[in-house]
Structure 1
Amino acid sequence: MGDKDFYSRLKIARKEAKESAYWIKLLKSSNPNLEIEIDKLLKEAEELRKILSAIIKKF
């Protein structure tokens, strides 16, 4: 896998993490009784997005 391909896949992964956070937020609004568990998932999605963003910036 070349650098351009790797960079492209990183950007896709970051986009997917952002989209996952969006859907988790929607899930949270419709399931207030699961707020603690959903908050953990949301935090993980945001952390993953930040990690991927940091890697992309170094490219």
Structure 2
Amino acid sequence: MFKFAYNTKLFVKKLPRNISNIEYAKQLIRSSGSVAANYIEASESLSKKDFVMRIKICRKEAKESVLWLRLVDALTIHEAERKILIDEATQLMKIFGAIISKI
């Protein structure tokens, strides 16, 4: 989770600076960081209910990260990196979904 948030931060630094990218990048940084933060909270939860809630938030924030990644205007040279991050966020959504379904 940390790696996803960190790689997202590095990607955002490479984006062209325009009005839409600035706002989308802020949201992307927040949502990707929230995946990692809520996963840490889930792993240290005191109850099953709290664990499930945190994992659901992780899944929601990963889904939101995909949205922001799709909305940013990436230069062609960064398109491959964006696709990798979208794939990683999608995989995280699936992982969190699998965790939720097994509880």
Q: Does residue 17 of the first structure (1) align with residue 62 of the second (2)?
A: yes
The higher relative CO (CA closer than 8 Å, separation ≥ 6) is in 1
Separation in 2 of the partners of 1:26 and 1:40? 15
Q: Which has the higher helix share?
A: 1
Separation in 2 of the partners of 1:15 and 1:44? 14
Instruction: Spell out, residue by residue over 1:10-55, the C-alpha distance to the aligned partner (whole angstroms, 9 max, x if none).
Output: 001100000001001112xx22412111000000000000000000
Give the ranges of 4+ consecutive aligned residues of structure 1 lying more than 6 Å apart after TM superposition: none
- Structure 2: any 5+ residue segments left out of the alignment? 1-45
Q: Percent identity?
A: 47
- Structure 1: any 5+ residue segments left out of the alignment? none
Aligned to 1:5, which of 37, 50, 60? 50
Pairs aligned (count): 57
Q: TM-score, normalised by structure 2?
A: 0.53
For the aligned residue pairs, the C-alpha RMSD in angstroms reads 0.8
Q: TM-score, normalised by structure 1?
A: 0.91
